[in-house]
Chain A
Amino acid sequence: SQKIEQNSEALNIQEGKTATLTCNYTNYSPAYLQWYRQDPGRGPVFLLLIRENEKEKRKERLKVTFDTTLKQSLFHITASQPADSATYLCALPTDSWGKLQFGAGTQVVVTP
């Protein structure tokens, strides 16, 4: 069955440093992969989408890579700020349009 793995341990990082999160998947050949941010008590918010033919995508201080051979995506937050503290979810499409399967998420805590 399809499986998505994200590091379940919280990532504690000092302000200004780069946070790197990992998303590994098995039994998938996704056409794209998405990353979302979720704050406590709130709904997820879309951040970035990267397609299978793209190696890297950037948006402001965010960078996503997608290695379809390794079946892995890396999510980087550069020059991290306390406001970046949240849980970050990766998501992949399954067998129908818009039906995304989500990883359990990795919590990021940025301390001043």
Chain B
Amino acid sequence: NAGVMQNPRHLVRRRGQEARLRCSPMKGHSHVYWYRQLPEEGLKFMVYLQKENIIDESGMPKERFSAEFPKEGPSILRIQQVVRGDSAAYFCASSGTGAATGELFFGEGSRLTVL
């Protein structure tokens, strides 16, 4: 029973390039969350998605960032025209429909380095 799968684990981009981070939730989970963790800081909520719907994107920067969770395939977090400040670990988490505990299952993260 595979857990939350994220790829790539490490990504290096130059300023101005695009970064695409992928997340496959645990089997049977339909809720996906993206969090960002800056060095020496805590996890910050970015966006909450269900299949084909963005439920809450209150933590997403207004520009350059977008997320999707299509009917088929993984959830994608896309960062356009990356800047050095985007360097961080991006974690995806999933939870099951109607989960009583609210427990989140996290992937191992994608570490973005912007040169």
Contacts and interface: CB of A to CB of B under 8 A. Distances in A.
A44 B102 contact: no
A100 B106 contact: no
Interface stretch (A9-17, A58-66, A72-80, A90-98): A90-98
Contact of A96 (B35, B56, B101, B109): B56
Instruction: Sort chain B's interface into a size bin.
Output: 20 to 34
Nearest to A49: B101
Interface of A, secondary structure class, is: loop
24 contacts: A41-B108, A41-B109, A42-B109, A43-B4, A43-B93, A43-B106, A43-B107, A43-B108, A43-B109, A44-B104, A44-B106, A45-B106, A49-B102, A49-B103, A98-B48, A98-B95, A99-B45, A99-B48, A99-B56, A100-B33, A100-B104, A102-B42, A104-B42, A105-B42
Interface of B: 4, 31, 33, 35, 41-45, 48, 55-56, 91, 93, 95, 99, 101-109
